[in-house]
Chains A and B, each alone.
Chain A
Amino acid sequence: MAKQYETVIGLEVHVELATKTKIFCGCSTAFGGEPNTHTCPVCTGMPGSLPVLNRQVLEYAVAVGLATNCGINRYCKFDRKNYFYPDNPQNYQISQLYLPICHDGSVEITTEDGTKNVRIHEIHMEEDAGKLIHDEWDDCSYVDFNRSGVPLIEIVSEPDMRSADEVIAYLEKLRMIIQYLGASDCKLQEGSMRADVNLSVREAGAEKFGTRTEMKNLNSFKAIRHAIEAETERQIDILEAGGTVVQETRRFDDNTGESYAMRSKEDAQDYRYFPDPDLVPIDLSEEFLDEIRNKQPEFRNEKMARYREEFGLPDYDIDIITQSKKMADVFEETVALGADAKKVSNYLMGETMRILKEKELDPQDISFKPEALKTLISLQEARKINGSVAKEVFEVLFFEDIDVESYVKEKGLMTVNDEGLLRKTVEQVIADNPQSVADYKGGKEKALGFLVGQTMKAMQGKADPGSVNAMLKELL
């Protein structure tokens, strides 16, 4: 009896570009300034002010378009999108509707269900809005225009995704490509990557799409997944009850797991787009595009092939390391300093991934110096510290800018290479653990492990496990 439904999802992804200045004025895009300290007449919509395009925005937009297999509209224009809101200083946003810079691209995504293409309808350039700050105690909101005019690209997909997994795979793919390009750091939490989800459901096998809703305010993969699941359910419930889905914009609240309509009769959603007369058209030459093509970095596939060839790393390692440009950069820089590739890889796949997961961080957040990791590996190779000490130190250097060698010395973490002390300690351990000694001699190999552990403990973890092993075998 129960009908089968299919979820159909398209995404509008906004990415803040990593330019130094805003899209139409020379104000800084730096985060964290006091309110309105990164503003000027242009980005606050003062009368008589005029926009002038930041060339870097165009270069990044074209670079992202090329990397996502888009066609480039060599002739393109900016349009005004008119709507009133306090964070929108001119009450129109400069964007692109009629001739966006990139069109008809695609990216390949992989999920448990296999590999598929998600088509990109278009990519356009636009300006970000300011920030509204709400005061719970009075009946006012406050506007800070520091973010107003920060450059964005909006990547609009076709409705090609069918599940939350596909959506997340698509977002991860976009993020990776854009990070590889250096066009943005793509941090969802900080809003430098934002996704609006357009979702509809239809009976499995139906040809026509259902009515879609648009969900905004999704700032983590978790929120996106929850929102998709909740909205799918909501729409199916409506249909099952014989109702119809209303085309509307909904805001998802991650705390309650519910979304609600953002409708108001004052919001006509009629943006009256028209070409912005203050900005002249863009007409890109083939040379301009070539210049950007030549500047495109090595992308993941090329990098993977090279890592296999150059470092002989296992595919498993390569897969993890190249998932983010940042991680790959750290890997290459550390290896370039002379560290062993596999050992660097182990630190990245193991400890680094563990810390990132534990602290809910993004590979973009990696800030330790490759020199530090290189030193750590050297100390370990020289048996000056043992593996568990190295792990401990790594956790410190991950967060703090330490000089690894002096840190190890100061904290007294160096391996103790005093054979006399080791012999004495092992003798003591053998004397204290007759049962284990008997077990070992009776053929239980495991007992040796216990004795090694006891010795390490007695030496406060600073012995070299290899030497301990050898000494125990000798004395037993």
Chain B
Amino acid sequence: MENILDLTASELGEAIRRKETTAVEATEAALENIRENEKNYNCYVTVDEEGALESARRVQKEIESGKLTSPLAGVPVAIKDNMCTEGLLTTCSSKILSNFVPTYTSEAVLNLEKAGAVILGKTNMDEFAMGSTTETSFYGPTKNPRNPEHVPGGSSGGSAAAVAAKECFYALGSDTGGSIRQPASYCGVVGMKPTYGRVSRYGLIAYGSSLDQIGPLCRSVTDCAMILEAICSHDPKDSTSVERKDNRFTDALEKDLSGMKIGIPRDYFGEGLSDEVASPIREALEVLKTAGAKVEEFDLSLVEYAIPTYYTIAAAEASSNLERFDGIKYGYRTESYDGLHNMYKKSRSEGFGPEVKRRIMLGSFVLSSGYYDAYYLKALRVKALIKKAFDEAFSKYDLIIGPAAPTTAPKLGESLSDPIAMYLSDIYTISVNLAGLPGMTVPCGKDRNGLPVGMQLIGDSFRENSLLKAAYAYETALGGSFERAFFKKEGR
């Protein structure tokens, strides 16, 4: 067998079932690689070596006894540090939660555990998922394994980097405005944000509740379908969780795209988009045409309004969601204080980083008396318009394809100085969250510096299968592996 770390999650699951390897061997290999590479990449906030090995041994026994038959049984996974994990530090990469050990596990992670996943640890992220580079983390930035001078993207940068660096076989991330798709694109891995309501948010520490969704980061489209199948559920503990019957995602993995109509929004290929990103995507579209898809350009409209709409809504929700961090029930409390309100202010001001404070302040302002209508309600109205624009597009197309981000991964330290410039990197991903739609990125090439370029596929609500089908056809046409097609190092 080739290096076990090169296997995709589904390949590893298969190998474990065929007794070619074990969950314990896979876990040990991943941990070994983590020990070797973490100093370079900083993908994890917490690595749970002992817990991972213990659960690997337990899972292996259950696989052997026939109790666990899921295709992902025994496969080691990394979890973004904003999903609660019982007994395992969960920080949101924030000082304010730097000592928080949840007493319950988020529903999506529980679903994975039921499927026999082995949790390696918790991955680094932008603090409270606010950021696009994983540089706002209290635990220092994560570096892009494809080129450590560059950021991995964010906010699920630790998860994307861990998958790319083979410090895990797959990972969970969360996506509020592109936080799975953009880092997946920057790191050259597959990432999907499912339809809002597809995966339970119970136990996901909220940033923008109406936009947040948990999803997979992985190495192949097959992995993506399998992981999604494992994590999605109708959860009575999450009122926004939707009951669906169409959750056999692996059934969608077909190579023939005959009859599929793909729309290409002209507005996604205009000013601001780097040529080095545009060309590989255009090449990929040719591949999809060959597979039978009909590709057509159209005007989506409203693209430039998505970011201001998003920042109004997300900041407003965040300002409220993050009120609970007050130094009373959990998390950081300042050392010395004079009375209640001083305790609140000091704990929060010392506990939150600058980007989080910036969004809390903005969110509190747009909800405050006298501004609610002009800012918040206005944004909710524009959101309705954006949803309508997508509805119209999906009356004509099965799928929309465009870039995931305007450029490839920027260098470390270049983004944070100008917030609006950083926010612009989310321009192609954000409206998908506003409209609640499923979005996916797959690698489609690299720039002249060897940095990955991602292609984004956007589907109508609950049509993850269309995304998976097109992505699978593309992957197959490339020879079955994005890694081999684009990133295989010379001489290996």
Contact = CB atoms under 8 A, between A and B. Distances in A.
Interface in A268-296: 270, 272-274, 277-280
A458 B316 CA distance: 84
A89 interface: yes
Contacts of B210: 277
Report which residue of B236, B237, B372 has the largest number of chain A beta carbons within 10 angstroms of its beta carbon: B237
Contact of A47 (B102, B238, B344, B369): B102
Interface in B237-265: 237-240
Interface size class of A (residues with CB under 8 A): 20 to 34
A465 to B, nearest CB: 67
B238 A91 contact: no
A44 interface: yes
Contacts of A46: 102-104, 329-330
A270 B369 contact: yes
A48 B206 contact: yes
By DSSP majority rule, is chain B's interface helix, strand, loop, or mixed? Answer: loop
B155 to A, nearest CB: 16
B405 interface: no
A207 to B, nearest CB: 27
A82 to B, nearest CB: 6
Given A266-B341, A277-B210, A90 B324 contact: yes
A274 B330 contact: no
Considering residues A47, A48, A90, A91, which has the most beta carbons from chain B within 10 angstroms of its beta carbon? A47
Contacts of B330: 46-47
B100 interface: yes
Given A46-B330, A50-B238, A50-B239, A84 B102 contact: no
A337 interface: no
Residue among A84, A86, A92, A274 having the largest count of chain B Cβ atoms under 10 Å: A274
Interface stretch (B131-139, B196-204, B468-476): B196-204
B480 to A, nearest CB: 37
Contacts of B238: 50, 52
Contact of B323 (A48, A84, A270): A84
B367 A274 contact: yes
A7 B372 CA distance: 34
B106 A280 contact: no
A274 B84 contact: no
Given A46-B102, A48-B205, A49-B202, A274 B376 contact: yes
A272 B328 contact: no
A143 B327 CA distance: 13
A33 to B, nearest CB: 18
A315 B205 CA distance: 62
B239 A278 contact: yes
Interface string A156-183: 0000000000000000000000000000
A262 to B, nearest CB: 14
B104 A41 contact: yes
A53 interface: yes
A310 B97 CA distance: 67
A49 B209 CA distance: 11
Interface in A412-437: none
A264 B344 CA distance: 15
B102 A48 contact: yes
B83 interface: yes
Contacts of A273: 367, 372
A272 B375 CA distance: 12
Contact of B209 (A89, A143, A266, A278): A278
B205 A47 contact: yes
B464 interface: no
Interface in A132-150: 143
A92 B323 contact: yes
A453 interface: no
A44 B104 CA distance: 13
Contacts of A44: 329
A427 to B, nearest CB: 82
A47 B239 contact: no
A80 B318 CA distance: 12
Contacts of A84: 323, 326, 341, 344
Interface residues of B, number: 44
Contact of A48 (B106, B326, B328, B329): B106
A47 to B, nearest CB: 4
Contacts of A71: none
Interface string B330-353: 100000000011001000000000
A240 B484 CA distance: 88
Contacts of B100: 47
Interface in A32-59: 41, 44-53
Contacts of B84: 47-48
B235 to A, nearest CB: 9
Interface in A79-106: 80, 82, 84, 86, 89-92
A279 B236 CA distance: 12
Nearest to A88: B323
Contacts of B364: 272
B83 A86 contact: no
A50 B108 CA distance: 14
A45 B236 CA distance: 18
Contacts of A143: 328
B320 interface: yes
Given A47-B97, A48-B203, A274-B372, A91 B326 contact: yes
Interface string A57-76: 00000000000000000000
A208 B329 CA distance: 47
Interface in B52-102: 83-84, 90, 92, 97, 100, 102
Q: Which of B83, B320, B341, B368 has the most CB of A within 10 A?
A: B320
A82 B201 contact: no
A278 B320 contact: no
B342 to A, nearest CB: 9
B126 interface: no
A50 B202 contact: yes
A41 B238 CA distance: 13
A277 B319 CA distance: 13
B317 interface: yes
Contacts of A52: 236-239
B329 A89 contact: yes
Interface in A7-47: 41, 44-47
Interface in B358-413: 364, 367-369, 372, 376
B202 A86 contact: no
Given A270-B368, A270-B369, A277-B209, A89 B324 contact: yes
Given A50-B238, A277-B317, A91 B205 contact: no
Contact of A80 (B90, B92, B103, B320): B320
A89 B331 CA distance: 13
Nearest to B84: A48
Contacts of B104: 41, 46, 48
A53 B368 contact: no
A6 to B, nearest CB: 30
A280 B102 contact: no
Nearest to A91: B323
The 9 closest A-B pairs by CB, nearest first: A91-B323, A272-B367, A277-B210, A277-B209, A48-B203, A266-B341, A47-B205, A45-B324, A48-B84
29 contacts: A41-B103, A45-B329, A46-B104, A47-B325, A48-B84, A48-B201, A49-B203, A50-B201, A50-B239, A52-B237, A80-B320, A82-B323, A84-B323, A84-B344, A86-B340, A89-B329, A91-B323, A264-B341, A272-B369, A274-B316, A274-B317, A274-B320, A274-B376, A277-B208, A278-B206, A278-B240, A279-B239, A280-B239, A280-B240
Given A82-B319, A84-B344, A273-B372, 5 more contacts: A46-B104, A47-B84, A48-B104, A48-B203, A82-B323
Interface of A: 41, 44-53, 80, 82, 84, 86, 89-92, 143, 264, 266, 270, 272-274, 277-280
Interface of B: 83-84, 90, 92, 97, 100, 102-104, 106, 201-206, 208-210, 236-240, 316-317, 319-320, 323-326, 328-330, 340-341, 344, 364, 367-369, 372, 376
